[in-house]
Amino acid sequence: MTLETKTAEAANGVKIPQLGFGVYKINKYAEFETAIVKAIRTGYRHFDTAKIYGNEEALGREIQKSGVPREQFFITSKVWNTDLGYKTGKKAFEQSLKKLNLDYLDMYLIHFEAPGYLEMWRAMEELYAEGKIKVIGVANFEIGHLEHLLSHAEIPPMINQIETHPEFAQNELHEYMLKHRILHEAWGPLGQGNKALLEHPVLQQIAGRHQKSVAQVTLRWHLQRGIIVIPKSSNPQRIRENSEIFDFELTGEDMERIAGLDTGKRYAISPTGYIIHPLYNKLLIGR
């Protein structure tokens, strides 16, 4: 089966399923296999991984085993900081492609703004022109980062994957990206399972009125803002629950009440001004 999911359209016309499935920190093979099999059977076709997650090969294996035609999937991976550059970036891309056992990637992102990212962008523009990537973009870029990239790019970034949840709505960056036709993709759309957020009385009240869970209401809030979401779970019940968000709609009042929860509070470290350290080869910065 496939989900009756909405899509967001990139500047080049490529349609991206608004609901995806994140695989960050799902590294035990048995757990990973169970989660991906359940997700595919539930109807998820948009999967988000990265080199630093260490599970590209496992994801590729499950895609091949599924029997679902390749063209039905939308697969994203990301290049890590230590591989940024023209030659090193192209090599990293080919390694990811090989691990995933794919001929092309639907989307490829620069994971963080770090030295060498402009050269990396040039490499990605060439890979895009060759048809090896359908959508090119970035992750964890702030307005200043995007301004700098736009001033050097031949092809503007089509998407920016950033921390976004009700307590950190990213309104200013969201409006900037709308203006520049850069899609907004949310990682940690459920606040990385933050208990206080998922038990917030406002969200619980709205969820109760719609006979939905707080997670479903939160994901629906993102969708109605035009945001792409990639919730992560290895729990079969939550995997299905997260997919059941297309049979109801939040009211304008609901949307306003949730907007009022924005405190500007990040749950992860700011991508601005972090120090690159060898340890970050093994540990994501708050991701």
Q: How confident is the model at residue 278 (pLDDT cuts 50, 70, 90)?
A: very low
Greatest Cα pair distance, the chain, in angstroms, is 54
Residue with tokens 């990265």: 50
**For the chain, what are the domain ranges?**
14-285
Most confident of 23-32, 212-221, 269-278: 212-221
Give CA–CA dist 258/240, Å, rounded.
Answer: 23
Cα separations in angstroms, 94 against 78, 232, 282: 12, 26, 20
pTM for the model stands at 0.93
Q: Is CATH 3.20.20.100 the classification given to domain 14-285?
A: yes
98-106: average pLDDT: 98
What pairing do the DSSP bridges indicate for beta strands 7-9 and 15-17? antiparallel
64-91: average pLDDT: 97
111 is in an annotated binding site: yes
Cite the beta strand spans of 49-123 per DSSP E.
74-79, 105-110
Cite the beta strand spans of the chain per DSSP E.
7-9, 15-17, 21-22, 46-48, 74-79, 105-110, 133-139, 159-163, 183-187, 228-229
User: Per-residue pLDDT for 4 more than 90?
Assistant: no
Q: How confident is the model at residue 273 (pLDDT cuts 50, 70, 90)?
A: low
User: Per-residue pLDDT for 5 more than 80?
Assistant: no
Annotated catalytic residue: which of 24, 29, 44, 53? 53
Q: If you count DSSP H runs as helices and E runs as strands, how many of each does the chain have, helices first? A: 11, 10
User: Per-residue pLDDT for 262 more than 90?
Assistant: yes
27-50: average pLDDT: 94
CA 171 to the chain's CA centroid: 17
Angle, helices 56-66 vs 29-42, to 10°: value is 40
For the stretch 115-174, pLDDT in tens is 999 999 999 999 999 999 999 999 999 999 999 999 999 999 999 999 999 999 999 999
Q: Which stretch of 106-115, 119-128, 228-237, 273-282 has the lowest confidence by average pLDDT?
A: 273-282
Under 8 Å between Cβ of 200 and 190: no
Under 8 Å between Cβ of 189 and 230: yes
pLDDT computed for residue 282 by the predictor: 46
10-20: average pLDDT: 98
pLDDT computed for residue 3 by the predictor: 67
Under 8 Å between Cβ of 124 and 149: no
**Known catalytic residue at 117:** no
Under 8 Å between Cβ of 198 and 234: no
